[in-house]
Amino acid sequence: MRTTTDTFDCGTVQLQRGGTLKGAKIVYKTFGTLSPRRDNVIVYPTSYSAHHTDIEWLVDVRHGLDPSRYFIVIPNMFTNGLSTSPSNYDGEFPQVTAYDNVVQQRRLMNEVFGVERIKMVYGWSMGAQQAYHWAALFGASVERIVVNCGSARTAPHNFVFLEGVRTAVQNARTPQDGLKAMGRIYAGWALSQTFYRREMWRGLGFASLEDFLVRSWEANFLRRDARDLMAQLWTWQHADISANDLYRGDLAMALAGIQAKVLLMPSATDLYFQTDDNRGELPHLRHGKLVEIPSVWGHRAGNPRDIAEDAAFIDAQVEALLADRKSTRLNSSHVALSRMPSSA
């Protein structure tokens, strides 16, 4: 498989909220080969706390994002520690929105690859929020999007969950203490009650619940810089496809303005990107479909690294969307186990 990792120099970026991001850069990785007609492009934005290395497992001939057929680009979000972020920025870091991210991602596709039309934007969690922005902002140039455990606007309950995370980090004695607290809060939200009731962490190789919290969740966030995570959390909290001059806060108008085919794929047990959010969006979409992932893995069902049944379910839906055919619904007991977590 042909891969390339590179950096796109965005220059000085005027941001949506009025600030300036000087010397902005997007680190990205590509997989596969761009077709002569430039018509086989999939954009796969990163999620909260994730680097491209955390989510690239899905780019595989065995999955829906097949690099033997498609040219797949993973742009790292601003604030994720690879692209321009507080940890690598000289000066006070400004507020960056999902809108700011996708506008620069589109420049990357246009200026580096000469791509005007995107076959699909696939995203999980914050990546799904970016996929929604791509479709709302760029009209007919986006053919399809997959909104995997995400929403068009961050819901109030989701916002409050993140307020708890933010407050814990900001009030901690040290950044390391804050990141450990963040991991423990996240552990209760990212996985379902059923996951803990069944003690499914035992099958992941952990000796106790405490061992799971320390070696999985605390360790996951200790890899990152707290400044980056706080900046990215703000981006998440303020994600809204209608918060721009095109739609002026009218979410129904923004959803109705999407020309792309939209696959809404929430997890049945997600505690913060809930199915009801997508159900409320669906009637406004011109070409929308909602297929719920029948999983006990909560939000993590949307990024099912080594959860074979959830991955197979997602692959089937994505392949059907790309082929413009009716998807096949899979039944699953969802007892497969996974290493946890590679990203949040």
pLDDT, tens digit, 9 for 90 and up, residues 69-103: 999 999 999 999 999 999 999 999 999 999 999 99
Mean pLDDT of 281-303: 98
Residue 267 counted as domain residue: yes
For 19-34, write each residue's pLDDT tens digit.
999 999 999 999 999 9
pLDDT at 335: 32
Residue 106 CA: distances (Å) to CA of 50, 101, 221, 244: 20, 9, 29, 17
Give the pLDDT confidence score for residue 1 in this predicted structure. Answer: 86
- Domain boundary (184, 199, 232) is at 232
Domain co-membership, 208 together with 121 = no
pLDDT at 340 over 70: no
Q: Which residue has the tokens 């082929």?
A: 323
Asked if the model's pLDDT at residue 290 lies above 90, the reply is yes
164 lies in the same domain as 201:
yes
Q: Would you state the structure tokens that stand for residue 160, as one six-digit string?
A: 């409050």
Give residue-wise pLDDT tens across range 117-143.
999 999 999 999 999 999 999 999 999
Give the H/E segment covering residue 180: helix 175-190
197 and 56: one domain? Answer: no
Residue 337 has pLDDT above 60, yes or no: no
Nearest to 41 by CA among 50, 51, 52, 30: 30
Give the Cα-Cα-Cα angle 89, 93, 99 (nearest 5 degrees).
Answer: 110
Average pLDDT over residues 293-303: 98
For position 70, what pLDDT does the model report?
A: 98
Does residue 338 surpass a pLDDT of 70?
A: no
Q: Is residue 333 part of a domain?
A: no
How high is the pLDDT of residue 325? 74
Q: What percent of the chain lies above the pLDDT cut of 90?
A: 93
Assess whether 171 and 143 both reside in one domain.
Answer: no
Nearest to 218 by CA among 173, 194, 186: 186
- Of 339 and 163, the one with more pLDDT: 163
Asked whether residue 120 falls in the same domain as residue 178, the answer is no
pLDDT for the residue numbered 344: 62
The predicted structure's pLDDT at residue 326: 67
For residue 343, tell me if it sits in a domain.
no
Q: What percent of the chain has pLDDT over 70?
A: 94
Nearest Cα to Cα of residue 271 among 338, 197, 184, 192 = 192
| Residues 149 and 165 reside in one and the same domain | no
Same domain, 191 and 147: no
**pLDDT tens by residue, 248-279:** 999 999 999 999 999 999 999 999 999 999 99
Note whether 24 and 102 are same-domain residues.
yes
Q: Which domain holds residue 76?
A: 3-153+240-323
Q: Are the CB atoms for 76 and 51 separated by under 8 Å?
A: yes
The answer to whether position 207 is within a domain reads yes
Cβ contact 84:105 at 8 Å: no
Q: pLDDT category, 287, cuts 50, 70, 90? A: very high
Q: What is the pLDDT at residue 306?
A: 79
CATH (domain of 63): 3.40.50.1820
Q: Tell me, yes or no, whether 120 lies in a domain.
A: yes
Residues 271 and 250 in one domain: yes
- Co-location of 269 and 297 in the same domain: yes
**81 shares its domain with 103:** yes
pLDDT of 219-251, one tens digit each?
999 999 999 999 999 999 999 999 999 999 999
Of 205, 232, 259, which residue sits at a domain end? 232
pLDDT of residue 232: 98
Torsion, Cα 13 16 17 20, to 10 degrees, reads: 0
Q: Write the pLDDT tens digit of every residue in 103-120.
A: 999 999 999 999 999 999
How many structural domains comprise the chain?
2
Sheet of 20-31, strands arranged across: 3-14, 20-31, 71-75, 41-43, 120-124, 144-148, 261-265, 288-290
Does residue 336 surpass a pLDDT of 50?
A: no
**Residue 329 is assigned to a structural domain of this protein:** no
- Helical H segments across 191-246, by residue range: 193-197, 209-212, 219-222, 226-237
264 with 135, same domain: the answer is yes
- Final residue belonging to a domain, choices 232, 250, 269: 232
Q: Is 221 a member of any domain? A: yes
Residue 145 lies in a domain: yes
Confidence class for position 342, pLDDT limits 50, 70, 90: low
Instruction: State the Cα–Cα distance between residues 301 and 285, nearest whole angstrom.
Output: 24
What count of Cα atoms within 13 Å lies in the side-chain half-sphere of residue 95? 10
